[in-house]
Structure 1
Amino acid sequence: MIVVGSILWAAALLVIAASLAVAITSIRFRRPRLSLVTIAPVAIGLAGAAFLISVPAPSHAVAVIGGIGLALLGVVAGNPITVAVLAFADRGTGATVTDGHHGGIILKESRDGTRRDAEVLRGGTTIGYVERLVVIAAIVLGHLEIVAVLIAVKGLGRFSELDSPEIRERFIIGTLVSLAWAGACALLIVV
């Protein structure tokens, strides 16, 4: 049984490392849909935990390495996964959203009959990384109130930019996907 458990945990560490490599590759080559494959191992892990599938406990070193790997996966893969989901949400709307130079998105505005490009939600990429890191840390430490404060601060900080339906929609979808992904990875660390 010890050999089977060791093989199982070694395979789990390899899957986490491969998923992290896929996430980094999808960011590097701007192919966010590629990162969606990283959802499968996290979903399988969560399903195993939900159905109480019995596996031997890992050694302390394997648990620490796996936890760090899952935390990295939660922080890093959240970016391309969120981008892929936002692209899916924009599908069929005729919206052409382009990335801005400062981590935001370029929005075509025509309020008073003039057209201009405006970068909104600046720093969104960096904020996403930080928010996922905070969510994972809060869940692992058992302080969920930190997540509530994070959501409140993010909403208040972006309030002035949420003046159009398109921006609000992207903000809500992006935040929910990012938080859900970080929460799923953190849940795997805890269980």
Structure 2
Amino acid sequence: MAPDFAVHYLSSPLGVGLLLAILGLPTLFLRVVAWRSFQRLGLRLVAQGYCAVIAAMFVVSVLVVLTGGGSMEEAGYMFVLSLIFVLPFASFVVMPLSVCLARVGAATVTLMAGAGVVSALALGALKAAYPSNEWGRTHRLEAFVDTALSVGVMATIVFCAFALGARMPLWRFPPRVPEASETA
């Protein structure tokens, strides 16, 4: 079974190192390249955001599998397999967007949830515009709705979990205090 191999590989020390590299390398790159923007959010809050995303994926995996009549072993498979998609999304899309929003003082849970909805609509539109099979070519609206709903729920969960883990405010971001070098 294909998931068995992926779960075994990702559970090994090399697989865990790969998952940590997926999180760490983009974070380090953004911290070096855009250090002023990154300072506004901070490494500790970014790490908390990542931890919240992983915890949310675990809860979602358990709820989805157990409500479908599955076992905890199947939930573990689903959790590990969801990390393959969620961690790159969190490190290459969610974290850079949150750092950019923090720089302009707009990093809130509300805007991050909105970003999840917008990304779901964009992916649904891409699926409708470029279908991968005959059914998608003849049922573009259904392909859009199916993709937007399935991806939208997960994307919004990832965006909101990161925002809550990074302790972003619900509505307003505190005003930015200028540094001494900026006022002189």
Where is the helix percentage greater, Structure 1 or Structure 2?
2
TM-score by length of 2: 0.40
User: TM-score, normalised on structure 1?
Assistant: 0.39
- Which one scores higher on RCO, CA 8 angstroms, separation ≥ 6? 2
Query: Which structure: greater strand fraction?
Result: 1
